[in-house]
Structure 1
Amino acid sequence: MPRDNSMMGHNQKFEIPKEMGAWVLNDPNNITIKKKPVPEPKEGEVLLKIDAVAICATDLEIMSHGLPAMINGELPFNKNFTFGHEAMGTVVKLGEGVHEFKPGDRVCVEIHAGCSRCEMCRKGWYTSCLNYSFTDRGHKANGFTTDGAFAEYMTNRTQTLVKVPDGMSDEEATLCVTAGTSMYTLDVMGGLYAGQTIVITGPGPIGLCAVGVASALGAEVILTGTRDNRLEIGKKLGAAHVINVKKEDAVKKVKELTGGIGAHYVLECSGAENAINDASSMIRRGGKIGLAAFPSKPVTVDIANLVRNNAYIFATRGEGKSACHRAMALMAQKRFDAKLIHTHTFPMKDLETGLKYTKERIEDAIKVVVRNDQKLA
């Protein structure tokens, strides 16, 4: 729901309980609500009251296979761990030294806060922190290496916070990280120039956000996928052309749409087995391929075709280099309608239902959001 902070006032005082309800991992695919202490914000951190969290496919992977970071090399399941990472909330308490935010500010949160001292973090590549998962060295990733957002409260460092504009709904704000992830891949590929052509493969949440971001930046977007209704959403988000790969040869159609030369870029968001090989046949010589999806198993890639075409491949993790701030700017300016990607909302108490809708794509769920409107425990 939209909220207007101008009517609420900032720097409010909030009553903060000592305990909160939080969803925690137990055994594979088994989660329960437990009571936990409300965390205390450290220096440079704020305490957030979680308002809404979008469910990510990675949450399903964490439930079934454990934490992808394998915290400090430990067992894949960390009992009592709270997951969830695509969150927004309200600042309710400031840690020492925080001056950028005030109680009452609405913010969405980036997942990753690097250690800030390794070579990668110093370059701004904090999603590739060389101290990833070592919390004693300063690394933090919500819902991956430190407790996440499927809870009533969470602490965050100020560098991970993006202010939510007045009037933007909580649900739309949760999509900032998804849009930021696609923005980051475009950045790593070198950025887009208006008028260039990009093929986006896979109309899932990241792929559809990528359509919105790329079209807002002036690119001619070609979206490929298998579901006509999602391709139609892609059109509403700015795709100039859509291709149902079950009905047309996508490579042939892209070549046709680009005068036989191929696209400048392909942003791969499907994770399909042959996606990289298709991408290498869709780009023009010297073109660039960005990988933002995780194939479910190792794939065979035609390296010779990449070499012949002087192609470049860029793989990215997460939402680095403050891409979320620029994605939020596009959303705030209504350069694309991220609300089209949000399909279902449930109370956070019904998280298991939301996860089921996401996993089984019930009612063609794309982005499912859980709201924290009542106490969990």
Structure 2
Amino acid sequence: MADTATADKNMTPPDTMRAWVLGDPQELTLKEKPVPVPGKAEVLVRIDAVAICATDLEILSYGTPALIEGGPPFNKNFTPGHEYMGTVAALGPGVDEFEIGDRVTVEIHAGCGQCKRCRMGMYTSCHNYGLNYGDKDKGHRANGFTTNGGFAEYAVNNVNTLIRVPDHMSDEEATLVVTAGTSMYGLTELGGLVAGESVVVIGPGPIGLLAVAVAKALGASPVILVGTRESRNEIGRQLGADYVINAREEDVVARVKELTGKGADYVVDCAGTETTVNQSVHMTNRGGRICLAAFPKSAVSFDLGALAVNNIYLYGIRGEGRSATHRAMAFMAEKRFDASLVHTHTFALEELPTALKYAKERIDDAIKVVVSTRPDAPNGAKK
């Protein structure tokens, strides 16, 4: 399946490439840009496919959390997009960890390596986020956030952000490693999940559905999904949910306690509303953990006292830190779960505006929408 991606070891990148550039909010234009040149500890990746994330939609509308040249990303020749995979097309000086022709998928963040958080391994919380421009270059980069991203034909990546893609894996599935890695990070590195503990996932979006898959693969029991769309709930069942609760038809908190006894050991809130935050608090067992994987758009009121008296731990996750994507890839490569179940649509690069519309408006029940730069390749876009 990977013949077209690995056969050519003499790939010569062009001087220019097609790339979508953000102007004013919601204004994307397909332009010609110079192909970037990899520096020390970097490679040039020919982007073969890129998935659309909800955060991409927020960047296009509001700018945050992107930070370009110390401010909002609008009208700065910025190319967004961060969940991409591709083929190594050129090597920076001294790079011997990869070869030209290797298929790779990417993490988003490469920390500065020198701040307190990076030295702890928490590079997604790098204190030098966004300080990678002009005279203030501190070494941090987050492709599609603080540097140019994947809605283009080429991008430069630090070698620390690359993960090899197995031959049997399609381009589209490889773009989902970041999403699965985010769920992995929340449950393992930050959450400390061990086999046999119960997990509730609220919200069957891409991260929520893959949180179900990761939790099940890690041995959680039972794994409970809370959602309102039956089509997505069914995908959750296929990915390993032992029980599915329709929030429109049942008392979610009462049902979770019925299924778990005294409440869940872990709750992963992938909806991010005042209602779901409070449901999370009241369905979590004493000493349990709540992971906020979605962010409320405004301040919310919730039962802080219940957290305190029940020793419940509340934490948020941002991205896919501590190499969680490498573990997610290991699970996906071994077919511990089928991440491709959340991929619903693929469009060509020039059709990005349509792809974004499908993702934003959930047209045709879109879940994960992928954009391909080579839709006719054997392991490329599926029509």
Normalised-by-shorter TM-score class: over 0.9
Provide the C-alpha distance between the structure 2 equivalents of 1:197 and 1:219, rounded to a whole number of angstroms.
Answer: 6
1:232 aligns with 2:229: no
Letter of the 1:100 partner, please give it. Answer: E
Equivalents in 2 of 1:183, 1:198: separation in Å? Answer: 13
> What is the CA distance between 1:194 and its match in structure 2?
1.5
State the match for 2:327 in structure 1. Answer: 326
Is the Cα contact below 8 Å between 2:272 and 2:296 reproduced in 1? yes
The answer to whether the 8 A contact 1:189-1:289 is kept is no
- Alignment match, 1:173: 174
CA distance in 2, matches of 1:176, 1:8: 18
Q: Percent identity?
A: 61
Out of 27, 31, 42, the residue aligned to residue 28 of structure 2 is 31
Deviations for 1:93-121, whole angstroms, at most 9, x for unmatched residues?
10011111000100001010110111111
Q: Does 1:101 align with 2:102?
A: no
Tell me the residue number matched to 1:86. 83
Give the direction of change, closer, same or farther, for the CA distance of 1:328–1:114 in structure 2 (3 Å limit). same
Residues 137 and 218 of structure 1: CA distance in aligned 2, closer, same or farther (over 3 Å):
same
Structure 1 residues 175 and 374, CA, compared in 2 at 3 Å: closer, same or farther? closer
- Amino acid paired to 2:2: D
Pick closer, same or farther for the CA change 1:277–1:188 going to 2, 3 Å: farther
Residue of structure 2 equivalent to 1:4: 2
Question: Is contact 1:274-1:299 (8 Å) kept?
Answer: no
Q: Distance in 2 between matches of 1:325 and 1:75?
A: 31
Task: Compute the TM-score of the two structures, normalised by the length of structure 2.
Answer: 0.94
The equivalent position to 2:116 in structure 1, one of 98, 114, 119, is: 119
Alpha-carbon separation, structure 2, partners of 1:180 and 1:8: 24
Sort the Cα spacing of 1:116 and 1:78 in 2 relative to 1 into closer, same or farther, 3 A: farther
Report what 1:197 is aligned to.
Answer: 198
Measure how far apart 1:171 and its partner are. Answer: 0.2
CA distance in 2, matches of 1:75, 1:279: 33
Q: Distance in 2 between matches of 1:233 and 1:190?
A: 24
SS at match of 2:250: coil
Give the conservation status (yes or no) of the 8 Å contact 2:2–2:168.
yes
| Aligned mates of 1:10, 1:373 — CA distance in 2 | 16
Instruction: State the distance in 2 between where 1:78 and 1:251 align.
Output: 46
Residue deviations 1:65-93 (CA, integer Å, cap 9, x gap): 11414335424524310000000000011
Q: Which residue of 2 aligns with 1:354?
A: 355
| 1:68 matched residue in structure 2 | 65
- State the shift of 1:352 in Å: 0.3
Matches of 1:9 and 1:127 in 2, distance apart?
Answer: 31
CA distance in 2, matches of 1:133, 1:168: 33
Equivalent runs, 1:282-293 vs 2, <5 Å: 282-293=283-294
Deviations along 1:146-173, whole A, 9 cap, x unmatched?
Answer: 0000001000000000110111000000
Q: Quick one: distance in 2 between partners of 1:75 and 1:184? A: 28
2:258 match: secondary structure: helix
| SS of residue in 2 equivalent to 1:177 | helix
State the match for 2:380 in structure 1.
none
> Is the Cα contact below 8 Å between 1:10 and 1:105 reproduced in 2?
no
Map 1:226-375; keep pairs closer than 5 Å: 226-259=228-261, 261-373=262-374
Aligned partners of 1:188, 1:307: CA distance in 2, in Å?
A: 23
- In the TM superposition, residue 225 of structure 1 has moved relative to its aligned partner by 1.0
- Partners of 1:78 and 1:295 lie apart in 2 by 27
How far did residue 331 of structure 1 move? 0.3
Shift of 1:10: 6.0
Question: Which stretch has the larger CA shift, 267-276 or 331-340?
Answer: 267-276
Q: 2:125 and 2:68 mapped to 1: Cα distance?
A: 15
Gaps of 5+ in 1: none
CA offset at residue 310 of structure 1?
1.1
Write out the 4+ residue segments of structure 1 that deviate beyond 6 Å after TM superposition: none
Amino acid at match of 1:324: T
Deviates more, 1:304-313 or 1:71-80: 71-80
